[in-house]
Amino acid sequence: MHSKGRSRFIVLCVAPAVILFFLFMVLPTVNVFRMSLFERGAYSPTETFVGVNNFKVLFKDAKFIASMQNTILLIVTVTIITFFFAIVFAAILTREKIKGQNFFRIVFYIPNILSVVVIAGIFSAVYKPENGMLNSIFSLFAGREVMVLWKDQPMVIVSIIIAMVWQAIGYYMVMYMASMAAVPADLYESAGLDGAGRVKQFFQLTLPLIWTNIRTTLTFFIISTINMAFLFVKAMVAKGSSDVALSFMYNQKDAGLYGYSMAAGVVIFLFSFLLSALVNKVTARDVLEM
């Protein structure tokens, strides 16, 4: 009887979350797959079954291919730069005796608590062609007026990369600082006695011991970059000048091509899923315990 009561209690606790997940995650996802097989306007009650025709057109669409290329470029570049600096800064602030570590944690973390709209506003001011900070600095060193159009081709992707990296570094740096702080100091002392320098200790001790954390955050960051890229493009850049995958999907919906938009959504979903599986496979390794 006691066992039955406990089981009922567990079911009652878990049921709300399961129901909400099913209603707001599973059903919408299934509906996206279903709608991708139909041709329908965004506000039209009628729909025509077209099978995989939307996908055939999609894979021949130069704009969609370009948007996927932009997305992949952002994923690769932003991930590499963000994780490199986050791990390096975390190692420096954790291992080196630097005053005001908590101050640096707060300063680096501040961009992460700002909304994308605020960050877009800050960088739009920095990138402003006439009197923005970047062009003003370049003009100062060049001795003449420099007019770089940071939010137009071909610099727009570079501008988005800078903003996304600036926004993300602090969050992951703080996470890695917490992981590195948990590494016993006597391991570093033993390694030092064996003649291992700071760099060797970093690669042979620090990285292997926090690898599980790096692997988890890496997968999360890569997938979230797909969404963040859309938000930054939407907030910073003129429509169509540098579409990413999600902005392309959004624009198709605005154009009234609802079924076509859902087909793009299916491709993006499968791409995200396969990318997650690939990252987990590539980064798999034996866990080094402390």
pLDDT at residue 1 above 60?
no
pLDDT, position 139: 85
Q: pLDDT confidence of 57, banded at 50, 70, 90? A: very high
Domain range annotation of the chain = 55-282
How confident is the model at residue 41, as a pLDDT? 66
Q: 131-175: per-residue pLDDT in tens?
A: 788 888 888 888 787 787 887 777 888 899 999 999 999 899 988
Average pLDDT on 243-250 reads 89
Which pair of structure tokens corresponds to residue 19?
Answer: 């129901």
The pLDDT of residue 213 is above 60: yes
Kindly state the percentage of the chain with pLDDT values over 90: 29
Average pLDDT estimate for 241-249: 85
- Is residue 282 pLDDT above 60, yes or no? yes
CATH topology of domain 55-282: MetI-like fold (1.10.3720)
pLDDT of residue 208: 87
Average pLDDT, the chain: 86
Write down the pLDDT at residue 44. Answer: 66
Q: Given this model, what pLDDT does residue 240 score?
A: 58
pLDDT greater than 80 at residue 242: no
Q: What percent of the chain has pLDDT over 70?
A: 94
Range with the largest mean pLDDT of 55-64, 219-228, 233-242: 55-64
Among 81-85, 96-100, 233-237, where is mean pLDDT lowest?
Answer: 96-100
- Evaluate the omega torsion of the peptide bond into residue 16 and state whether it is cis, within 30 degrees of 0: no
- The per-residue pLDDT for 239 is 63
The sign one gets for the Cα dihedral 41, 43, 48, 50 is positive
| pLDDT tens-digit readout, 166-176 | 999 989 998 89
Looking at residues 265-288, what average pLDDT do you find? Answer: 86
Span 175-186, mean pLDDT?
86
pLDDT digits (tens, 9 = 90+) for 37-53: 988 765 667 788 888 89
pLDDT of residue 286: 64
pLDDT, tens digit, 9 for 90 and up, residues 60-94:
999 999 999 999 999 999 999 999 999 999 988 88
Mean pLDDT across the stretch 95-107?
79
Q: Is the pLDDT of residue 202 over 80?
A: yes
- Please give the angle made by the CA atoms of 115, 118 and 123, to the nearest 5 degrees: 125
Q: Mean of the pLDDT values across residues 226-230?
A: 89
pLDDT at residue 100 greater than cutoff 80: no
Look at residue 238 in the predicted model and tell me its pLDDT: 65
- Which long-range contacts does 221-227 make (Cβ < 8 Å, 24+ apart)? 221/79, 221/82, 221/83, 221/168, 221/172, 222/75, 222/79, 222/275, 222/276, 222/279, 223/272, 223/275, 223/276, 225/74, 225/75, 225/78, 225/79, 225/164, 226/71, 226/75, 226/268, 226/272
What's residue 184's pLDDT? 83
